[in-house]
Amino acid sequence: MRTIAIVKRVLREMLRDKRTLALMFIAPLFILSLMYFLFQNNSTSVAKIGVSNVDTSLVKALKNQHTDLASYGTHANAKTTIRQHNLAAFIHEEDGKLTVTYSNSQPSDTALVKQALQGGVTKLKVQALVAATKTQKRVLQQQAKVLKTVMAQQQKLQAAQGTTRGQTATVGNSTSPKAVPAYTVTSHYLYGNSDSTFFDTFLPVLLGFFVFFFVFLISGISLLNERTTGTLTRLLATPVRRGEIITGYLVGYGIFAVIQTIITVTFALTVFNVHMLGSVWIILLINFLLAMVALSMGIFISTFANSEFQMVQFIPLLIVPQVFFSGIITIATMPDWLQWLAHIFPLYYGGDALMNVATRGFGLGDVSGDLWILVLFAVVFTALNVVGLKRYRRV
Amino acid sequence: MAQPMIDVRDVAKRFGDNVVLKQINLHLPAGRVLGLIGPSGAGKTTLVKSILGMEKVDAGTTTVLGTQMPNRQIMQKIGYMAQSDALYETLTARENLRFFGELMGVKGPALAKSITHVAQVVNLTAMLDRRVSAYSGGMKRRLSLAIALIADPDLLILDEPTVGIDPELRQQIWAELRTLKQHGKAILVTTHVMDEAERCDELMLIREGIALAQGTPTQLKQEYAVDTIEQVFLKAGRLQDENHSDR
């Protein structure tokens, strides 16, 4: 009964505060859209490469949709040319040795050049090998004519394999005069498609993060207001139970958190056409649990703040590190102590569960471990909150 | 004799090294108005909160309606008005009243009736559906008083109830308090307005956490051989300071 009164009051207050409502419901959509467009064009970047005295066959091999080549004189200086023409890299060949100078002001451009270089060199090697194999083929065919026995054929096969060291598949049917088969690669993607960007992969985690962040901020600050304006003390001068206050808050803000989650997830699924392997219901459930953790944590943290400003100071301390451990950066490759540290953050479990469900199609049973830990976080913080109110009233 | 509404025995309280209350004894029967007077920082609010069971006391006991505090159920029978207005500014006065009424356990038609009544008492009927953020300081004070009255409590504890309220309305509020008293309610009021002190049935002077004097206004004036409560207050304070310098 009293809990319902508190829930009604929280809802009413929230509905009156249009700005906060907008922040909770529209801000995540705005940021998501912004990120969507920011991370869209990752396949159109082109690295400018300057070449000097490089063999034409290699220059040809270097050309692809991500490179733009320009020739410079034999004695062009790498440093100055890069600066003058804003190049990503400068390649100079002398006595068959390649010297590459990277500008490296854009690591992504450097990666493109490295890729092109590696691809180009491999392409040349393969061409050379194919040529070599063809010559060998001719020799072997001559031998075959001489030794027309089955045994000889086998020996010849072994010899062919030995010399080519398994480089190409053409060796196996060396007796046939067929040309090198052109490989066609068919790719299959478990999650997303060939157009998948950073955004698509991390969207599930981002969803969880936004829910966590906004619920934490709003619930923390509203309880802080209740402390600083004295209404919390006033509340506790009525026969209300401490648990009823906390429950009222959890339910009241929980309703907004659910609405926020539904809006954000629906927006991501329909507008961005993001495809999820697992069930949307599990995604919603995980987000709801994250909201509950954020809610109880926000209320708890507000105990340690004396003003809204101090509450905001907790964001770099408690919220930003969670982003690092939410799965956006691969946790498995972190140093051991960081991996251990990751385990104290709720978003680590939330992010893990969201990624697994969205990109690997895990079911409820597969992520139940993460979910239970989130429930545990929420329960512990809620209990701490109920005990913490003893500060205001002894019973 | 009837059961006392408030019975405070040997209550002491300190915050760190700062002694706020020393051996306070207070007794309030039904149908009486007790005024707690003293300068700010004297420990009035701490005493009030100890009586409500919201502040932990270091020694002594506080009993309200025969039950030792803290006790959650008893709070239903206490109407409390805090020193600072604790109101939800984005809600209307009616919504504030309804919310606190519900928390105090008043339900349905009784609540609606009670809202109408208390609004009348504090003269806010016309402004009930306005948001509290649009209220003046005095209006907020009146709304806080209305909230204290919402559950028709047996005991009223009012911490500085008439700060920022104009003289005319102050008269009305005191008239209402007298009516409540005649209906057998006990009222504990803290104040530092001396003419209000004269209206109390009984007074208790607190200074530096010590109860300096206790009695009816007339008794106190006789005891200190002065004409006004204000003079009683000043004289008692001087005597306390002299005692201190003796030690």
- Return the DSSP state at B60: E
Q: Which two tokens stand for residue A279?
A: 């069930």
Please tell me which of the candidates A12, A237, A394 has its beta carbon nearest to residue B95: A12
> Is residue B82 included in any domain, yes or no?
yes
Query: Which residue type is seen at B100?
Result: F
Name the percent of chain A lying above pLDDT 90. Answer: 11
- Angstrom distances, CA of residue A143 to CA of A133, A137, A175, A204: 15, 10, 11, 63
**Mean per-residue pLDDT for A130-159?**
76
Instruction: Of A344, A341, A349, A339, give the one whose Cα is nearest residue A287.
Output: A349
Give the span between the Cα atoms of B217 and B235, in whole angstroms: 14
Note whether residue B1 is domain-resident. Answer: no
- Whole-angstrom distance, CA of residue B87 vs CA of residue B92: 10
**Which positions in chain A touch B134 (Cβ < 8 Å)?**
none
A393 and B99 within 8 Å at the Cβ level: the answer is no
User: Is the model's pLDDT at A337 over the cut of 60?
Assistant: yes
- Chains A and B form CB pairs within 8 A to the count of 76
CATH number among 1.10.3470, 3.40.190, 2.60.40, 2.40.50, domain A47-171: 3.40.190
Cβ distance of A238 and B88 shorter than 8 Å: no
**Per DSSP, which regions of B16-54 are E strands?**
18-28, 33-37
What CATH number does residue B70 fall under?
Answer: 3.40.50.300
Question: pLDDT tens digits, residue range A289-313?
Answer: 999 999 999 999 988 888 888 888 8
Do B221 and B227 touch, CB atoms closer than 8 A? yes
Q: Mean pLDDT lowest for which of A173-187, A268-282, B231-245?
A: A173-187
Coil, strand, or helix at residue B139? helix
pLDDT of residue A171: 43
In this complex, the residue of B54, B103, B131 whose CB is nearest that of residue A5 is B103
Greatest alpha-carbon pair distance for chain B in Å reads 62
Local structure of A292: helix, strand or coil: helix
* Best mutation target, B72, B103, B132, to test chain A (most A CBs within 10 A): B103
pLDDT higher at A266 or A199:
A266
The whole-number pLDDT of residue B100 equals 92
Domain extents for chain A?
Answer: 2-38+195-391, 47-171
Q: Rounded to the nearest 5°, which phi and psi values hold at B131?
A: -70, 145
Give the best residue of A2, A10, A389, A393 to mutate against chain B (max B CB count within 10 A): A393
Q: How far apart, in whole angstroms, are the C-alpha atoms of residue B86 and residue B96?
A: 10
Q: Rounded CA gap, A145 and A152, in Å?
A: 10
Chain B residues whose CB is inside 8 A of the A8 CB are: 99
Closest Cα in chain B to A231: B86
| DSSP run (H or E) holding B184 | none
| Cβ distance of B54 and A392 shorter than 8 Å | yes
Nearest to B86 among A9, A233, A241 (CB): A233
pLDDT at A153 over 80: no
Q: CB-CB: which of B76, B88, B91 is closest to A239? A: B76
**Residues A121-126: what's their mean pLDDT?**
83
Nearest to residue B213, comparing CAs of B171, B41, B226?
B226
Which residues fall within 8 angstroms of residue A5, CB to CB, at 6 or more apart?
Answer: A248, B99, B102, B103
Interface test with A, best of B68, B72, B81, B155 (most A CBs within 10 A): B72
| Residue B161, helix vs strand vs coil | coil
Distance CA B147, CA B150 (A): 5
CA A171: distance to chain centroid? 42
* Closest chain B CA to residue A8: B99
- Cβ separation A237–B80 shorter than 8 A: yes
> Residue A32: what residue type?
L
Of B241, B171, B242, B228, the residue nearest B37 (C-alpha): B228
Give the residue numbers spanning the domain of B114: 6-246
Confidence of residue A173 (pLDDT cuts 50, 70, 90): very low
Collapsing DSSP to helix, strand or coil, A56 comes out as helix
Residue-level pLDDT at A289:
92
Rounded distance between C-alpha atoms, residue B221 and residue B228, angstroms? 6
> For B127, which DSSP code?
G
In this prediction, residues B28-50 reach a mean pLDDT of 84
What percent of chain A is predicted at pLDDT more than 70?
A: 85
The pLDDT value recorded for residue A6 is 92
Q: Distance (Å, rounded) from C-alpha A42 to C-alpha A64?
A: 16
A103: β partners: none
Chain B positions touching chain A (beta carbons under 8 Å): 52-54, 56, 70-73, 75-76, 78, 80, 82, 84-91, 95, 99-100, 102-105, 131
**CA dist., res. B170 & res. B176, Å (int):** 10
Collect all residues from A whose CB is shorter than 8 A from any CB in B: 1-2, 4-6, 8-9, 12-13, 16-17, 229-231, 233-241, 392-395
**A71 vs A75: CA distance, rounded Å:** 12
Mean pLDDT, residues A27-38 taken together: 85
Closest CA to B28 of B55, B9, B43, B42: B9
Write down the pLDDT at residue A168: 44
> Among partner residues A13, A17, A393, which is closest to B54 by beta-carbon distance?
A393
Question: What total of structural domains would you count in chain B?
Answer: 1
- Class of residue A12 by CB neighbours under 10 A (exposed 0-12, middle 13-18, buried 19+): middle
Dist CA A183 CA A343 (whole Å): 45
Question: pLDDT band for position A198 (50/70/90)?
Answer: low
For the segment A139-153, the average pLDDT, to the nearest whole number, is: 74
pLDDT tens-digit readout, A272-288: 777 778 888 898 899 99
What pLDDT was estimated at residue B137?
82
Q: Which of B87, B102, B149 to mutate to test the interface with A (most CBs of A within 10 A)?
A: B102
* Whole-angstrom distance, CA of residue A297 vs CA of residue B243: 52
